[in-house]
Each structure stands twice: as structure tokens, then as C-alpha cells.
Amino acid sequence: MEFVDIVQRIHPLKKEDLQKLLSISETIQVSKNTVFIDTDKLSKYIYFLQEGICRIYYHKADIAVILAFSFPGEAMISLNSYIHGKRGYENIETLETSIMIRIEIASLQSLYENSTAIANWGRKLAEFEILKIEERLMQKLFKTASERYQDLLRKEANITNRVKLGFIASYLGVTQVTLSRIRAHIR
Amino acid sequence: MEFVDIVQRIHPLKKEDLQKLLSISETIQVSKNTVFIDTDKLSKYIYFLQEGICRIYYHKADIAVILAFSFPGEAMISLNSYIHGKRGYENIETLETSIMIRIEIASLQSLYENSTAIANWGRKLAEFEILKIEERLMQKLFKTASERYQDLLRKEANITNRVKLGFIASYLGVTQVTLSRIRAHIR
DNA sequence: AATAACTTTTTACAAATGTTAAAAAATCAT
DNA sequence: ATGATTTTTTAACATTTGTAAAAAGTTATT
């Protein structure tokens, strides 16, 4: 998906404002298994995934718990860095070599202060992030691991070929043994 | 907490912009056990709780699952109404007679279009909501029901006098039987 | 092709939570 | 205050999920 389309889908901008956003964005390639947003570090950038797949995870004691996978078109940020300019909690890692657009948060924020349209774009960006997280929470509250596994397959049919089952089990909030039982049961 | 303080804590506004916000807000009293945001209905307002306590809940099949309690100072909205202007999923009900400030969403949105400062206020409001939901999700992922119960007591020591345990169990995501076991174990 | 390293499934058993029902305790209304 | 209603706890049993270890399957490397 083109970055311009990702931007316009959030909140339509006139050429002039769009140009301002594009002028502070750059496309980068990140190789496989690279942690580009790191717990306890300040993240200077907001990223938009264009190609590839990433995992967002947190550390609980010594094990990693996967909160979500990111697919093309989605924004990826360290929430605490973006919102408070402080060190964050999430790790985000590429699971495949990925292409993404990054924007320096500081530059974006100065656009927010100087353009009503871009401030509203930033508002819609935040609002859509609310819906994304809300969706995750709802899924967690209302659906069984088995249902969530089947939802994931429906959304990304070949994810089991791209992401190992241990990661998917972590995302579902069950052990890999339980996921194996779910898989055995579905067939 | 005064509404002006709630507003300024989200994002400081100059007198002029603050005045615009105040001019479209009104204080209302809502009596106990009133559902003022209702599943499947469009909610025309955003609310800020000044006094009282509310529960945010969803219906799963025939039972209600409590997502959160709202305390003074917090915003309460039907997310889908606020963001998409469509019917929402959450129910919000007063558990005590409450005082709240309400603002018509449509009026607020026209302020967003015409004031950069208020657009940025709306952006910060959305960003803080992200953090609130993120916090809920994190608690759900990383903490046991027992830990979350103790966290709740630490935050609102007398909540067990104001909210029945069946509601607290629903919020914790366990049955009331399990909550009784937790309480018996803590003592 | 063979070995090593990693991933996934299976098994057996333990621990935690749910379900249902009943009893006990607390609260409310007259 | 007393009986009625609601809320909370306890008990017994069923079900689900976790833990640990072994087996089977897959992928990478020499």
C-alpha cells in the first residue's frame, strides 16, 4: 500500500498539507528479526508498515508476551514515546524483511501545532489507534483462544507459514501445548 | 474536580479556546442505575464524570462483562459514536447518583475544524484514551485476577462498599466464586 | 546424506477455575 | 424489629489449561 493512501485513509489532506507530511517522511528497509522499537528506550519515530510483518510484544518477568502482529498499512509506535516523549514499554520486531515509512515524532508534532488539518489528522490517527486497541481488548475478553485463532486464520490465511506457532500461541494468550490441542481439535 | 481542570489537564488552552469549549458544555445530574450510553444506540454526547462512579460493560451472549469502572475526572464515550458517528457497543451506567459534564459531539467536532488548539486538545484526549485502554489490556495480559483485585483496592480502597462483588468479579474476568476464593485467601 | 538445531505434537499428571447448588450473612423495606 | 430479598461464601465435582518430558517432524549446515 502506498504511503499517500495510508495517510489519506486516516484523514484526507489537501495537497499542501500532504506535502508537508511527505517532506518529513522517509522510506526505510529493515531486515528480518530486527527490534526497531525497544523497551525502555525512547523511540524518536513513528512508523508505517508498507511491506512485511512485525510483532509487538512486552516482557513479563522473563517471557515475552505478544500483544499483536502488525500488517501493511498499520502504524507502529512506542505509545509512551509518542504521547509523553518518555521511554516506552513495547518491543516491536520485524519477523520478515520489511519496508516502512518513518516520521520523526518531533517534526510531526511541530506540524500539529501549525496546521489545523494536520492536527485533525493526528487526532484521527490517535482515534483509530484507540479502536485497534479496543478491538484487541474485546477479542481478549469475549473470544476463546480457539475462536481468536480461527479469526486470525481468516484474516491472514497463510500466517502459519510466516510466523511460528509459539508466537501465535503467545499472541492468543495460551501455551503452545494448548494451541496444538486447538489445532488438533479443529481438523 | 472542576471541569476547567479536567480540560486543562488534557491540553492547556488559552482563555478564548477554553471559553469556546465551556460554551458548548452543560452540567447534568444522573440518578443511580441509569444507563446513559446504550448498546446499539448512537450517543450524541461525550461525558466527563465529576462526581460518582459508573461501570462500562458489554453484553456477551446474555451476560454482561464489565470492562472498567469510571471515576471522577474521566471521559466517558461510546467510541464508535464519537469516532465514526455510528451506533456503539458499550453500555455505561451510573452506579451512584452522579454529576457529569456533557458536550455534544457534533458541536465539539466543528470546534475541531476551526481551532488548531482545540484540534490538538482533541488529539490529546484521544491519546490519553489510548493509554487508558492500553493500561486495561496490559493489566489483563500480565496480572492475575488476585493482583488486579488488590490493585483496585489500592486505587479505590472503599470500592467494595460502593460496588457489589459480582460487578468486581465481572471486571476482573472471573466468576464470583473465584473472587470469594481470592478474598478468603488474602485474609 | 547425515547431523544438529529448532519447531510442533503428544502424553501424563498437577493445578486452577468453572458450574451448580446450598448455606450463611448482610441488607432492605415495611 | 422482623421477615423478605439480595449478596456473599462455601462445598463438591467437572472441565480446562498448565507443566514437563518425550517423540515426531522440519530446516539448516557441513
Residues A131 and A147 reside in one and the same domain: no
Between residues A91 and B40, the one the model is more confident about? A91
The three cell numbers of residue A104 are: 520523526
What does the pLDDT look like over A10-28, one tens digit per residue? 999 999 999 999 999 999 9
What is the distance between the alpha carbons of residues A160 and A95, in angstroms, rounded to a whole number? 12
What is the distance between the alpha carbons of residues A158 and A172, in angstroms, rounded to a whole number? 17
- Reduce the DSSP state of residue A86 to 3 states and report it: coil
Among residues B68, B119, B106, the alpha carbon closest in space to that of B90 is found at B68
Contacts of A113 in chain B (CB under 8 A): 116, 120
Is B113 close to A120, i.e. CB distance below 8 A?
A: yes
Residue B89 forms part of a structural domain: yes
Asked whether A7 and A13 are in contact (CB, 8 A), the reply is yes
Window 127-146 of chain A: CB closer than 7 A to strand D: 144-145
- SS3 per-residue string spanning chain B: CCHHHHHHHHCCCCHHHHHHHHHCEEEEEECCCCEEECCCCCCCEEEEEEECCEEEEEEECCEEEEEEEECCCCEECCHHHHHHCCCCCCEEEECCCEEEEEEEHHHHHHHHHHCHHHHHHHHHHHHHHHHHHHHHHHHHHHCCHHHHHHHHHHHCCCHHHHCCHHHHHHHHCCCHHHHHHHHHHHC
Mutation site, A11, A60, A130, interface B, largest B CB count within 10 A:
A130
Q: What pLDDT does B64 receive? A: 84
Q: For residue B29, what is the domain's CATH number?
A: 2.60.120.10
What is the distance between the alpha carbons of residues A143 and B58, in angstroms, rounded to a whole number? 13
Residue B129 forms part of a structural domain: no
Residue B84 forms part of a structural domain: yes
Contacts of B174 in chain A (CB under 8 A): none
What average pLDDT does range A104-133 have in this prediction?
97
pLDDT more than 90, % of chain A: 88
Is A140 close to B141, i.e. CB distance below 8 A?
A: yes
B175 CB neighbours strand D below 7 A: no
Q: What pLDDT does A187 receive? A: 64
Residue B23 forms part of a structural domain: yes
Is A120 close to B115, i.e. CB distance below 8 A?
A: no
Q: What pLDDT does A120 receive? A: 98
Q: What pLDDT does A186 receive? A: 74
Residues A127 and A62 reside in one and the same domain: yes
Shortest CA to C1' contact from A187: nucleotide: C9
Confidence of residue A174 (pLDDT cuts 50, 70, 90): very high
Residues A187 and A116 reside in one and the same domain: no
A184 CB neighbours strand C below 7 A: yes
pLDDT more than 70, % of chain A: 99
Please provide the size of chain B in residues. Answer: 187
What average pLDDT does range A140-144 have in this prediction?
90
Residues A101 and A88 reside in one and the same domain: yes
List bases in chain C with any atom under 7 Å of a protein Cβ.
7-12, 17-21
Residues A71 and A104 reside in one and the same domain: yes
Residues A50 and A119 reside in one and the same domain: yes
Residue of A nearest to B83 (CA): A127
- For each of chain B's 187 residues, which pLDDT tens digit applies? 899 999 999 999 999 999 999 999 999 999 989 999 998 899 999 999 999 999 999 987 777 899 999 999 999 999 999 999 999 889 999 999 999 999 999 999 999 999 999 999 999 999 999 999 999 999 988 899 999 999 999 999 889 999 999 999 999 999 999 999 999 987 6
pLDDT at A170 over 90: yes
Residues A151 and A71 reside in one and the same domain: no
Residue B135 contacts A where some CB pair is shorter than 8 Å: no
Q: What pLDDT does B146 receive? A: 94
Looking at A103, A119, A139, which one is the last position of a domain?
A139
Nearest Cα of chain A lies from the Cα of B30 at a distance, in angstroms, of: 26
The residue segments making up the domain with residue A45 are 3-139
Residues A135 and A147 reside in one and the same domain: no
Nearest Cα of chain B lies from the Cα of A131 at a distance, in angstroms, of: 8
Å: B170 CA to C27 C1': 22
Number of domains in chain B: 1
Among residues B56, B54, B48, B51, the alpha carbon closest in space to that of B121 is found at B48
Residues A98 and A166 reside in one and the same domain: no
Among residues A47, A6, A5, A7, the alpha carbon closest in space to that of A30 is found at A47
Residues A187 and A103 reside in one and the same domain: no
Mutation site, B115, B137, B142, B147, interface A, largest A CB count within 10 A:
B137
Residue B122 forms part of a structural domain: no
Q: What pLDDT does A1 receive? A: 84
Q: What pLDDT does A148 receive? A: 95
Residues A88 and A148 reside in one and the same domain: no
Q: Nearest CB to B123: which of A80, A122, A138?
A: A122
Mean pLDDT of chain A: 94
pLDDT at A43 over 90: yes
pLDDT at A128 over 70: yes
